[in-house]
Amino acid sequence: MKKIILIGSSGAGKSTLALRLGEKLGIEVFHLDKLLWKPNWEMTDREYQIEVQNNLIMKPSWIIDGNYGATLGMRIKAADTILFLDRNRYVCIYQILKRVKKFNGLTRPDMQPNCPEKFDLSFLKWVWNFPNKQKIEILEEIQNLPKTKKVIVLKTKKQIQLFLDEL
């Protein structure tokens, strides 16, 4: 495992797992949220997103955390390991509410500066609906990958911990 992507719903624990993996494997971690948002929650344009990710995937090793469906294919193609955190929507919502409480008005460490955490009902709805749309798209994207790609689906906190323990 030298080129790893972490995908899954917001609140699934991608950033936390990415950091733990990075420490354990000695591989640099890149959070797409930190790289692709501008201050004040302004999203960068698609060309910039592609450029940033092309530069990342050229490196000899990396851990990239984030979904960004429009560019997921390029990361999957470059990765040797795909970790899909398929967590229950209730867990994801709970984690997000916990994160809002902890960082409300502050910028999280895995986020672009000047993007303060806030309660956002439309974002919670997106997370709630993740299993009905984004999850299906992710599963379609990863179901027929060549055997050279290692696909790992983790559904629970216990599975995530066992995965880390076995490394």
Write out the E strands in 32-121: 37-38, 42-43, 62-65, 81-85
What are the chain's domains?
3-157 (3.40.50.300)
Per-residue pLDDT reduced to its tens digit, 71-113: 999 999 999 999 999 999 999 999 999 999 999 999 999 998 8
Provide the pLDDT for residue 54. 97
Element (H, E) at 2: none
Query: Average pLDDT, stretch 11-36?
Result: 97
pTM above 0.85, yes or no: yes
Tokens of 51: 């450029």
In the chain, the amino acid numbered 49 is Q
Provide the pLDDT for residue 103. 96
Q: How far is it, in rounded angstroms, from Cα 56 to Cα 29? A: 10
